[in-house]
Amino acid sequence: MPPEMGKLAFQIATWIILVAAVLLCFLERGTAERVITEFSLALGLIMAGAVWWLTRGSRRRPEGGWEE
């Protein structure tokens, strides 16, 4: 994955997480809006985790290894 694409995807995931977290402070429990917002928060966390995992796995290992 190109670094710019990973950075953009992580920024989008961060925005989803922040907006959902702020909205959760103001929504009443048991409402449909709260459930959708909780789902959005979970989706943002999954997306951020997936981007982190994909970008971490795509880094190239130095020839001598990580230890020096």
- Chain mean position to CA 21: 13
Average pLDDT of the residues in 15-21:
97
Tokens of 55: 């970008």
Q: What is the pLDDT of residue 9?
A: 93
**20-62: pLDDT as tens digits:** 999 999 999 999 999 999 999 999 999 999 999 988 866 666 6
Distance, in Å, from the CA atom of 40 to the CA atom of 56, rounded to the nearest integer, reads: 24
Distance, in Å, from the CA atom of 33 to the CA atom of 25, rounded to the nearest integer, reads: 12
Contact 58, 5 (CB under 8 A): no
Distance, in Å, from the CA atom of 9 to the CA atom of 19, rounded to the nearest integer, reads: 16
- 64: DSSP letter: T
Domain spans in the chain, listed from the N-terminal domain onward: 9-56
